[in-house]
Homo-oligomer: A and B are copies of this chain.
Amino acid sequence: MAAPNTPEFQISFPTPHIAHVEITRPKKLNSFSDSMFTQLGQVFTYLSSPDNLDVRCIVLSGAGPNFTTGLDLQAGLQAAQQDSTKDLFRQNLETQKLIQRWQDDVSAIAKCTKPVIAVMHGYCFGLAIDIASACCIRIASSDAKLSIKEIDIGIAADIGTLSRFPKCVGNLGWVKELAYTGRTFGAAEAEKHGYVQYVEADKESALKKALAVAEQIAGKTPVGIRGVKDVLDYAVDNRVEDGLRYVKVWNGAALQTGDVKEAIMSGMEKRKARYEKL
């Protein structure tokens, strides 16, 4: 699979096992055009593909001071524009198709077989929350300004926030207040309620922290990491009994990997473990 042509996303590899994805439309505060949704989906599908078996963890941030201000309103309106001569429900179905497409692009992050760490900095509005909630871990700079902004244009956030945000934090009242009011909240508040895991002084140190966590993850067996992600995502959406059954079937096979042996041996021999590509 060829690397996708993504003018507004840049992929780099700070280390062989870590991919760094940047949203690169800083002049527009990294706001999303319709095409950028497609690019986003392509980037994460590509990083999950056989061309990138060596990648073990992904860091996502924005070029320039801001993560993203969300949907580029102009471009969004254009994409959402319906032919008003058409039957009302046919327009509705067109809108559903657009929502589905954008949802699928953002879900590519959640379905990526590798952990994704979001670096939240500057403006993190609307779509920024949809995207960050589809990531595994969130690290913020102290200047980050977050908002479930959709309500301000009269919309119930539909690209993932309302489904995923309440499952990232335990505090439903806080979620509701934010989703009803659209008020901006800072990194410290986000951290207090568990939405972000670390707050760093500025974007640079937040990115550095993200890379450090990514480095830790990249040092583990990719087989184990993949299992943890798959099993945890299943467990959160299912009952305890189901989670136990699923991990049993998964591990019955996963424990046959040679990585377990290598993990144990390298630990005993106090050397760095070496794992095959996944």
Contact with A278, one of B90, B160, B194 (Cβ below 8 angstroms): B90
Cα-based distance from A167 to B240 in the complex (angstroms): 9
Q: How many copies of this kind of chain does the complex include? A: 6
- Determine if B244 and A163 form an interchain contact, defined as CB atoms under 8 angstroms apart: yes
Kindly state the separation between the CA atoms of A180 and B89 in the bound complex, as whole angstroms: 19
- Please give the number of chain A residues whose Cβ is less than 8 angstroms from any Cβ of chain B in the complex: 105
Q: Which of A167-200 contact B (CB under 8 A)?
A: 167-177, 179-183, 193-197
Please provide the 10 A-B residue pairs with the shortest distance between their CB atoms, ordered closest to farther.
A170-B170, A163-B243, A171-B194, A156-B227, A253-B253, A89-B257, A154-B263, A96-B252, A154-B221, A237-B239
Please report A residues at the B interface, Cβ cutoff 8 Å. 73, 77, 80, 86-93, 95-96, 99-100, 103, 107, 110, 115, 136-138, 150-158, 160, 162-164, 166-177, 179-183, 193-197, 213, 216-217, 220-221, 223-232, 234-241, 243-260, 262-264, 267, 276-278
18 contacts between A and B (CB under 8 A): A87-B259, A92-B252, A92-B253, A96-B252, A136-B176, A136-B180, A137-B180, A154-B262, A158-B247, A158-B248, A162-B228, A162-B232, A162-B243, A163-B240, A172-B236, A173-B197, A177-B197, A237-B240
